[in-house]
């Protein structure tokens, strides 16, 4: 008698099962198997499949039967010897098995089951599930495979596996295959030792999920879990659970703050290291800690730990925080802010303010930065630092950034259509927005729909974003390829290197206020000088932020900082005020009057550090000098010349030292100035020597070239200073 499941499996391969599960189901707890030729009523094969089974199933030998023997006879023997009297099961099958199988086959039934109790001495001991699978062979005979299963055991096994499943659902986490929060609670309550609950959260995990996909996200959850487990000492009753998403919870049976902080430090390092192993953006864990003691609800301690964890997220110095009752109030306030976002967008409560950027030499506005303000219904204005970090935590920031970007594009387009001369207005792009890969195509689409040149809306990306994330490189590349100038914001507030800037195609570096605040301190001055120098070598322009006083402005101008943004020039201003500034900026666009030219000059002159000796205004195109002023002696030198060309020639020949004469003529060459004028206002400087009352003197001539569109003429303002 063959006796292995393998052989049964082999036999069953002849049968076309609907699927492999069905086959497995047949084998599940099978204890006896017959193959019967129904047409001839002969058992052709039999198997004891589970000889070690404790259940004694009657064997054909028990009835004195030897193969080949009659199936009907076997059934009758079973019926009379093992079926208890009071059974109401389907034992009638055993009375007439052959006809039952034949008629089933005639009805198109290919398999069926009968269930009955068997036992000894009229006692029910085993509940049998008898499976019949019918087949017609090529010889025309009808065959049946008959499998007897211990149904009681089947049921018991199913029940046990079901209970285990329930327990799994209730207490175990499918991703980590470790305990879940319920298990954590039960364990802690059962243990009853005082200590702390530590809630852990991985900053920007949701972003990892959306960039790298859910399966990578699961991988991160599991890897972090393994790291957490590796630090726990179960013998000292330390244990943990995965709560959900990127949230974990740990119990340490101690109130020893130093010990806890040390353990958190250890975990932080292990979790950060996972980023490299998994090739995902930096995983930054945050920890919130709350005390627990027997009698206190675990949920309460957990909630407190979660609140503390949110506090930790906003700290710059540490990544953990111990629960403080005041945290609750803050959390409620933050939730209110998030909840109000959608309606604030709908009601246009987010306003774009503008902070102009200036050229420190010409004092002219060369650009601006768009800064969001939240104007509430009551007119009060909320600063972005109170809501941007909150929006950054949950991805809302992307919607806000896009909203501001779109608004700025629309403003620029309107000004362009009104024929206003405008300046590039940079928009901020949060670190969190950068994690969305489609951001560039989205911005490009907005730009295309509005029909604007990307040069008018540079993108500001903060230094930390650019340094911390490899995928930022691709996004920066795409922005660059789409034509957006890239500005690195807050340079100096983190750990950037200038080489990053070059690789990432940054066009402008924005020196952070924290660096600018160091001006006046020897070391600080050198750092800024060095940074500007290196940036220049890389062809990157520099804008200093947060310039508040004249000393800072002067220093920055002196060391070649290209542009300045700060309260010294202008605070961020609302739309109407900025539009007015744009109008003033284009004074010469509106009205060709000497008054306007004079105004321009006055404004320009304010920019000069030293008072000038002598100035004049030239119409370069028409070759005449319209106005001159200054110290009398000097004025007489330029008087009585009918043309500018003539005047310059005379001054060069009679007053400028020979060594500098060629440079002087070249610098003031009218034709050259007309040819090289690049279309926007510009300033050039020449140093030279000339006679001053017969003694040589060191001079500086500064020219400011500007256009007046209505007349098509090019103008020049010349100021001459003795150094
Ligand atoms: P930021 O991009 O570095 O912008 C410069 C911040 O410095 C602005 O603060 C500006 O008002 C302030 N500032 C400029 N000059 C001076 C100065 O001379 N002294 C001082 N004390 N501060 C000066 P604001 O407008 O409060 O914005 C703060 C930050 O909020 C911004 O820093 C930027 O990171 C963020 N932000 C503003 N608008 C947006 C936005 O639309 N999207 C995103 N993602 N972030 C924005
Ligand atoms: Mg900025
Ligand atoms: Mg900044």
Q: What CATH number has the domain bearing residue 94? A: 3.30.450.20
Residues 209 and 282 in one domain: yes
Confidence category of residue 63, pLDDT binned at 50, 70, 90? low
Residues 604 and 570 in one domain: no
Q: Which is the closest atom of ligand 1 to the Cα of 427?
A: 41
Residues 464 and 443 in one domain: yes
| pLDDT at position 275 | 82
In a domain, 164, yes or no: no
| pLDDT at position 600 | 59
Residues 78 and 219 in one domain: no
- What's the CA angle centered on 232, arms 229 and 234, to 5 degrees? 110
Residues 384 and 471 in one domain: yes
Residues 177 and 116 in one domain: no
359 neighbors 561 (Cβ within 8 angstroms):
no
The average pLDDT across 336-344 equals 92
| pLDDT at position 146 | 85
| pLDDT at position 716 | 87
Look at 84 and 344; give whichever has higher pLDDT.
344
How does pLDDT run across 546-556, given as a tens digit for each residue? 999 989 999 99
| pLDDT at position 3 | 40
In a domain, 288, yes or no: yes
Work out how many domains the chain is built from and give that number: 4
36 neighbors 44 (Cβ within 8 angstroms):
yes
Instruction: For residue 267, give Cα distances in angstroms to 188, 229, 302, 445, 696.
Output: 21, 10, 19, 43, 73
Token pair for residue 552?
A: 């800072």
Q: Which ligand is nearest to the CA of 492?
A: 3
Q: Which ligand is nearest to the CA of 493?
A: 3
What is the rounded distance in angstroms from the CA atom of residue 454 to the CA atom of residue 452? 6
Final residue belonging to a domain, choices 585, 609, 635 = 585
CA–centroid distance for 152 within its chain: 55
Final residue belonging to a domain, choices 324, 347, 374 = 324
Hey, how many other C-beta atoms are within 10 angstroms of the C-beta on 621? 18
Task: Please determine, for residue 526, whether its predicted confidence score (pLDDT) is greater than 60.
Answer: yes
Does the CB atom of residue 50 touch ligand 1 within 6 A? no
Residues 372 and 472 in one domain: yes
In a domain, 167, yes or no: no
586 neighbors 365 (Cβ within 8 angstroms):
no
Q: Which is the closest atom of ligand 1 to the Cα of 371?
A: 38
The average pLDDT across 236-245 equals 92
Residues 293 and 357 in one domain: no
| pLDDT at position 389 | 85
How does pLDDT run across 515-524, given as a tens digit for each residue? 899 898 887 7
User: Which domain covers residue 671, as residue numbers?
Assistant: 594-722
Residues 347 and 395 in one domain: yes
* Lowest-confidence region among 262-266, 374-378, 645-649, 700-704: 700-704
The average pLDDT across 79-108 equals 83
Please name the residue whose Cα sits nearest to atom 44 of ligand 1: 430
- Which residues, in sequence order, are bridge partners of residue 124? 119
Instruction: For residue 59, give Cα distances in angstroms to 31, 134, 153.
Output: 11, 22, 19
Residues of the chain above pLDDT 70, percent: 79
Task: Please determine, for residue 638, whether its predicted confidence score (pLDDT) is greater than 80.
Answer: no
The average pLDDT across 432-444 equals 85
pTM of the model: 0.52
Look at 498 and 377; give whichever has higher pLDDT.
377
Confidence category of residue 427, pLDDT binned at 50, 70, 90? very high
Confidence category of residue 436, pLDDT binned at 50, 70, 90? confident
What is the rounded distance in angstroms from the CA atom of residue 306 to the CA atom of residue 327? 10
Confidence category of residue 413, pLDDT binned at 50, 70, 90? very high
| pLDDT at position 710 | 54
In a domain, 408, yes or no: yes
- Which of 341, 409, 428 has most ligand 1 atoms within 8 Å of CB, for mutation? 428
What is the rounded distance in angstroms from the CA atom of residue 721 to the CA atom of residue 723? 6
CATH number reported for the structural domain that contains residue 511 in this entry: 3.20.20.450
Residues 292 and 350 in one domain: no
Does the CB atom of residue 384 touch ligand 1 within 6 A? yes
Residues 558 and 631 in one domain: no
What is the rounded distance in angstroms from the CA atom of residue 150 to the CA atom of residue 299? 46
Token pair for residue 69?
A: 């023997």
Q: Which is the closest atom of ligand 1 to the Cα of 372?
A: 38
Nearest to 719 by CA among 642, 603, 608, 587: 608
In a domain, 166, yes or no: no
Residues 450 and 407 in one domain: yes
In a domain, 330, yes or no: no
Q: Which is the closest atom of ligand 1 to the Cα of 567?
A: 18
**How far away, in angstroms, is 552 Cα from ligand 2 center?**
19
For the chain, the distance separating the N- and C-terminal CA atoms, rounded to the nearest angstrom, is 118
Task: Please determine, for residue 125, whether its predicted confidence score (pLDDT) is greater than 90.
Answer: no
């Amino acid at each position: 008698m063959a006796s292995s499941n393998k052989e049964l499996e082999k036999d069953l391969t002849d049968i076309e099962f609907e699927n492999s599960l069905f086959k497995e189901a047949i084998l599940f707890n099978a204890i006896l198997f017959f193959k019967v030729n129904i047409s001839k009523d002969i058992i052709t094969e039999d198997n004891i499949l589970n000889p070690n089974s404790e259940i004694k199933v009657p064997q054909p030998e028990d009835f004195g039967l030897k193969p080949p023997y009659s199936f009907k006879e076997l059934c009758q023997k079973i019926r009379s010897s093992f079926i208890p009297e009071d059974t109401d099961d389907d034992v009638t099958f055993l009375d007439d098995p052959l006809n039952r199988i034949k008629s089933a086959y005639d009805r198109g039934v290919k398999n069926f089951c009968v269930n009955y109790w068997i036992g000894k001495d009229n006692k029910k001991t085993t509940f049998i599930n008898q499976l019949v699978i019918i087949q017609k062979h090529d010889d025309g005979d009808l065959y049946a495979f008959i499998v007897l299963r211990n149904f009681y055991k089947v049921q018991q096994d199913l029940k046990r596996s079901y209970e285990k499943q329930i327990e799994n659902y209730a207490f175990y986490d499918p991703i980590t295959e470790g305990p879940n929060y319920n298990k954590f609670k039960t364990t802690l309550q059962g243990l009853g030792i005082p200590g702390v609950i530590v809630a852990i959260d991985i900053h920007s995990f949701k972003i990892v999920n959306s960039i790298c996909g859910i399966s990578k996200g699961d991988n991160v959850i599991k890897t972090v879990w393994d790291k957490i487990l590796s630090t726990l000492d179960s013998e000292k009753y330390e244990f943990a659970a995965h709560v959900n998403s990127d949230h974990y919870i740990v119990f340490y049976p101690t109130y020893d703050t130093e010990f806890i902080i040390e353990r958190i430090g250890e975990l932080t390092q292990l979790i950060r290291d996972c980023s490299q192993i998994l090739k995902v953006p930096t995983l930054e864990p945050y920890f919130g800690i709350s005390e627990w003691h027997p009698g206190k609800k675990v949920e309460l301690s957990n909630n407190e730990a979660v609140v503390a964890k949110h506090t930790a997220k906003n700290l710059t110095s540490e990544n953990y925080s111990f629960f403080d009752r005041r945290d609750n109030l803050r959390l409620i306030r933050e939730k209110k802010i998030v909840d109000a976002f959608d309606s604030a967008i709908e009601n246009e409560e987010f306003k774009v303010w503008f902070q102009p950027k200036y050229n420190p030499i010409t004092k002219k506005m060369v650009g601006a930065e768009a800064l969001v303000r939240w104007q509430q219904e009551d007119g009060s204005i909320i600063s972005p630092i109170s809501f941007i970090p909150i929006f950054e935590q949950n991805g809302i920031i992307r919607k806000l950034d896009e909203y501001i970007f779109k608004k700025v594009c629309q403003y620029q387009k309107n000004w362009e259509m009104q024929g206003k001369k405008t300046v590039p207005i940079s928009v901020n792009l949060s670190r969190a927005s950068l994690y969305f890969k489609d951001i560039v195509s989205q911005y490009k689409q907005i730009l295309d729909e509005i029909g604007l040149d990307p040069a008018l809306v540079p993108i500001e990306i903060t230094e930390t974003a650019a340094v911390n994330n490899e995928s930022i490189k691709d996004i920066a590349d795409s922005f660059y390829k789409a034509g957006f100038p890239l500005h690195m914001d807050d340079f100096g507030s983190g750990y950037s290197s200038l080489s990053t800037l070059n690789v990432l195609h940054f066009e402008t570096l924005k020196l952070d206020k924290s660096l600018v605040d160091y001006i006046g301190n020897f070391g600080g001055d050198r750092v800024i000088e060095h940074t500007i120098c290196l940036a220049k070598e890389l062809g990157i322009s520099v804008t200093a932020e947060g310039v508040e006083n004249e000393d800072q402005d002067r220093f920055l101008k002196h060391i070649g900082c290209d542009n300045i943004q700060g309260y010294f020039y202008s605070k961020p201003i609302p739309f109407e005020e900025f539009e007015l500034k744009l109008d003033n900026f284009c004074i010469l666009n509106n009205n060709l009057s000497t008054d306007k030219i004079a105004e321009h000059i006055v404004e320009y002159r304010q920019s000069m550090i030293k008072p000038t000796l002598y100035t004049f205004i030239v119409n370069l195109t028409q070759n005449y000098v319209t106005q001159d002023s200054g110290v009398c002696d000097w004025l007489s030198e330029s008087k009585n010349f009918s043309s500018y060309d003539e005047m310059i020639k005379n001054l060069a020949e009679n007053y400028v030292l020979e060594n500098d004469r060629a440079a002087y003529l070249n610098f003031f060459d009218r034709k050259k100035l007309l040819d090289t004028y690049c279309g926007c206002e510009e300033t050039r400087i020449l140093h030279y020597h000339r006679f001053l009352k017969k003694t040589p003197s060191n001079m500086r001539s500064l020219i400011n070239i500007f256009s007046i569109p209505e007349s098509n003429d090019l103008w020049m303002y010349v100021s001459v200073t003795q150094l």
